[in-house]
Amino acid sequence: MHFLTISKKYDAGIVDNVVYLDALSSQTTAKALYETSLNDLEVAFATYYYYAGKNIEEFIR
């Protein structure tokens, strides 16, 4: 389930702390995977620009 839904149910006392902590763990894992994926994408872009002979400094934000 979605973390916000579980959080609201936890605040209302409908679900226990195990369910809440499991949802929080899933959300944290998803965020970490997302950030890692963004980093991998940036590295892939840099590698592409390097092998394409472009000046990488032009593409740095």
pLDDT digits (tens, 9 = 90+) for 17-47: 999 999 999 999 999 999 999 999 999 988 9
- 40-47, long-range: CB < 8 A, 24+ apart: none
> Rounded to two decimals, what is the model's pTM?
0.74
Q: Does residue 7 contact residue 23 with C-beta atoms inside 8 Å?
A: yes
pLDDT at 11: 94
Residue tagged 């980093």 (tokens): 39
pLDDT at 57: 80
* Res. 16: pLDDT tops 90: yes
Mean pLDDT of 50-58: 86
* Res. 61: pLDDT tops 80: no
Phi, psi of 15 (to 5 degrees): -115, 160
CA distance 4 to 7: 5
